[in-house]
Amino acid sequence: MGMIGRGFIKLVRGIAWLWQACACVLANGVRRLSKGSWADYVLFELSGALLERTPQRPRFLNIFSRGKPALTVEALHDGLRRIAADPDVRGVVILVKGAQISLAQAQSLADLFARFRGWSGEPSSGAAAKEVVVYLETCAGAEYAMAAAADRVFVSPQTDWSVLGLRAEPIFLAETLRRIGVEAEVVKVAPWKTAFDTFERSEMSAAHREQMERLLDGWYGEMVTAISRGRGRSEEQVRAAIDSAPLTAKEAVALGLVDDTVYEDQLAKVLGGTKEEARILPYDQASRTLYRRPRLRHRKGIGVISLSGMITTGKSRRFPGGLPIIGSNTAGSSTVQQMIRAAVQNERLAGVVLHVDSGGGSALASDLIWRELTLLDRKKPVVAYMGDVAGSGGYYVALPAQEIVCQAATLTGSIGVIMAKLITSEAFSKVGAKSCPVQRGENADLYASDAPWRPEQRGKVEEQIEHTYGTFKRLVADARKLEPDALEEVCGGRVWTGRQAQVRGLVDEIGSFATAVDRLCELASLPKDGSVPVVAVKADEKRPRPPVSEGSLDLLAGGEGFAELTEALLGVLQGDVSSLMGRERIWMLADGLPKIK
């Protein structure tokens, strides 16, 4: 671009900034006339499942939806950024009512609280750092670990402090299946690859127990440390309190675990102190009178590609309410490929954050996505952020990223491969059904459910598994700069917490989604002042983009239609989930992992 072009762009941006500054002066002048309606504290309510990113929905759906959309971490981040710039707001109140928060999400919210204090304490905000107040209707596990990061924590007088610790209780169905004539046959790389242990075993193996113990140790330590740091108590005191739980609200106050017991309607008086009651307004109401500052958005942006659910070949799918085995949604390789290609060709995007929340799935689909991301990273930087889980195929797809960020409680790794099939011939005979197969080809029955693998067939399956596993390990070694001799100690299907994975070189940094955005801004030479727009990458599946040639690099998921949903349900009921999970039979799947809320 020539000097004239650059000068013209600067002129246009200067005019835009001047226009925005004038608009802010006018809005702030009007704001002064309504001083009595300003908020002292801005209220946010956390309830139900908490998503990281705000879902992209067609506008017409908003017309028919009732009530306000559920709060997401992204929406809370944007709201706190605006509030931090208002010199008159004293803080925020986070009202927690039946929220479903994981430990990794609690850590993300704690990180956001710290960022909020930093934003509000900046010289440009014109005020001291604002406080974060959390009010809990229930007080357990992850939601309290999040609340401990606040400046003040309140509970109702009848709320029990129920931080009881952590417990995982996997169920094993092998004996149950045998009683109905079904048996699971599994080939896996190592005993730590426990994805199908539920169907193959009648009790927990020693390797499975060792893995569970390691994960719970890591999670428990993170939770104790978070409470200790946030509430100013020693770790010994926190562990003693957990071992004594449940505690009454008064006992929790006496131990310094919460600040006071109040009912929700008494918060305004408590926060007002010796003066009149504090004015607490919900964000959608308070946002109308927040102080405004001119802030030009950078001409370059950051794209976000979210990969959530089981990884499969074909299109991404979303099943209302969820389906057995499959879950509520899948990340289809075809859909994700189109999003990645759209990001490559979008010149307004300086880089991409890959947001992964998946326990993996199809080895083929994972590899296809890996290839597209590898090509994308050659054109513009990619940073991966892992949510609650990025295991097996979910970790595989993150390998092309220049940096991998996750929370200390994120489940990741499970570098391994597995294949399984259920033998149902005896179950059919019990109900009088008889299979009469006719085939051509020695191994046409390789995936059939009427008989176990013959020795030579099992050998063929093991060869497939070893080949895929070798590829997986090679890519990990190359991407993470790990010595092949030491690689097996972190592979073999072993699952790690984010903190454990960082120590072993599988991830780069512990942090939130905002941390990943900061790292990408550094890689792309963009400012980290919040002026860079962060947008979801969209792709029109009706107009698919061809693959980007490797040599020319220098130069979307939706709801299912009724027919497709019916087909999916019939497939599950008939036991044929291959049409949903893809015909590919080799899986990079980390299933049956503990879930701590």
Tell me the whole-structure pTM to 2 decimals: 0.89
* Residue 578 scores a pLDDT above 50: no
* Residue 153 scores a pLDDT above 80: yes
Nearest to 530 by CA among 352, 302, 305, 347: 302
* Residue 579 scores a pLDDT above 50: no
What would the mean pLDDT of 89-103 be, rounded to a whole number?
A: 95
Interval 438-467: pLDDT, tens:
999 999 989 888 889 999 999 999 999 999
In this prediction, residue 587 carries a pLDDT of: 86
> Which of 186-200, 388-402, 405-419 shows the lowest mean pLDDT across its residues?
186-200
Whether residues 260 and 339 fall in one domain: no
* Residue 17 scores a pLDDT above 60: no
End-to-end CA distance of the chain: 52
Residue 518 lies in a domain: yes
Residue 121 lies in a domain: yes
Whether residues 285 and 312 fall in one domain: no
Whether residues 332 and 412 fall in one domain: yes
* 409 vs 538, more confident: 409
Residue 546 lies in a domain: yes
Residue 182 lies in a domain: no
| Four-point Cα dihedral 482, 484, 490, 493, nearest 10 | 130
Residue 511 phi, psi dihedral angles, 5° rounding: 175, -175
Residue 504 burial by CB count (10 A; 0-12/13-18/19+): exposed, middle or buried?
A: middle
Whether residues 311 and 272 fall in one domain: no
Whether residues 278 and 327 fall in one domain: no
**Helices 513-523 & 73-84 angle (0-180, nearest 10):** 70
* Residue 28 scores a pLDDT above 60: no
User: In this structure, what CATH number is given to the domain that contains residue 81?
Assistant: 3.90.226.10
Tokens of 547: 């693959």
Whether residues 414 and 553 fall in one domain: yes
What would the mean pLDDT of 207-220 be, rounded to a whole number?
A: 95
- pLDDT band with cut points at 50, 70 and 90 for residue 121: confident
Whether residues 279 and 408 fall in one domain: no
Interval 461-500: pLDDT, tens:
999 999 999 999 999 999 999 987 778 899 999 999 999 9
* 584 vs 174, more confident: 174
CB 311, CB 362: distance < 8 Å = yes
Q: Which of 230, 258, 289 delimits the end of a domain?
A: 289
What would the mean pLDDT of 529-549 be, rounded to a whole number?
A: 79
CB 158, CB 117: distance < 8 Å = no
Residue 465 lies in a domain: no
In this prediction, residue 55 carries a pLDDT of: 81
What range defines the domain where residue 521 resides? 301-434+447-452+491-589
Q: Which of 222, 257, 289 delimits the end of a domain?
A: 289
Residue 523 phi, psi dihedral angles, 5° rounding: -65, -35
Q: Which of 56-60, 418-422, 514-518 has the highest mean pLDDT?
A: 514-518
Place of tokens 């226009």: 19
Whether residues 275 and 393 fall in one domain: no
Tokens of 126: 């014109």
Interval 549-573: pLDDT, tens:
555 554 434 444 555 555 554 444 4
Whether residues 249 and 350 fall in one domain: no
In the chain, % of residues over pLDDT 90: 63
Interacting residues of 360 by C-beta distance below 8 A, sequence separation 6+: 310, 311, 366, 391, 392, 393, 394, 395, 396, 414, 587, 588, 589, 590
Interval 29-52: pLDDT, tens:
655 556 657 889 999 999 999 999
Whether residues 376 and 513 fall in one domain: yes
Give the other-Cβ count within 10 Å of 8's Cβ: 12
Q: In whole angstroms, give the CA distance from residue 87 to residue 121.
A: 10
Whether residues 317 and 263 fall in one domain: no
Average pLDDT, the chain: 86
Residue 466 lies in a domain: no
Number of C-alpha atoms within 13 angstroms, CB side, residue 246?
Answer: 11
In this prediction, residue 186 carries a pLDDT of: 92
Residue 205 lies in a domain: no
For the chain, the domain total comes to: 2
Q: Which of 289, 310, 343 delimits the end of a domain?
A: 289
- pLDDT band with cut points at 50, 70 and 90 for residue 58: low
Whether residues 505 and 425 fall in one domain: yes
Residue 197 lies in a domain: no
Residue 294 phi, psi dihedral angles, 5° rounding: -65, 130
Nearest to 368 by CA among 397, 341, 344: 397
